Amino acid sequence: MSLVKTCTLILPECEVQTTTFNISYSGLGVELPDDDQAFNSKLLTKVSVQDIGVFDIAVRWQKNRKLGLRFLSKTSARPVLNAYFKKIGSYPV
């Protein structure tokens, strides 16, 4: 489902502020800021999404300034996501 939320990409040496553009039970999509300094997306291990939580992730794909991230543990991500979706009254299809 489409979802625009502030989030932080967490790398060993830095953090990058960005926004999500979608979310599902499998993962989420983020769009890097225009002024993004090139970073090695292979080092990305966590994402913190405002009002939702922190997730261990892996980069599934990258195209231009967009990244597709998958949750490493769908089992632990699902209850956190369910609580958020219940709060907003909308669920991904």
Split into its structural domains, the chain has a count of 1
CATH (domain of 67): 2.40.10.220
Domain residues for the domain of 23 are: 6-88
Residue 47 lies in a domain: yes
Residue 91's identity, in one-letter code, is: Y
Cross-strand partners of 53:
49
| The pLDDT of residue 36 | 60
φ, ψ for residue 40, nearest 5 deg? -85, 105
Residue 19 lies in a domain: yes
- Spans in the chain with pLDDT lower than 50: none
Between CA 47 and CA 49 the distance in angstroms is: 6
Residue 22 lies in a domain: yes
Residue 84 lies in a domain: yes
Q: What's the pTM value of the predicted model, to 2 decimals?
A: 0.89
Residue 1 lies in a domain: no
pLDDT in tens, 15-40: 999 999 999 999 999 999 887 666 78
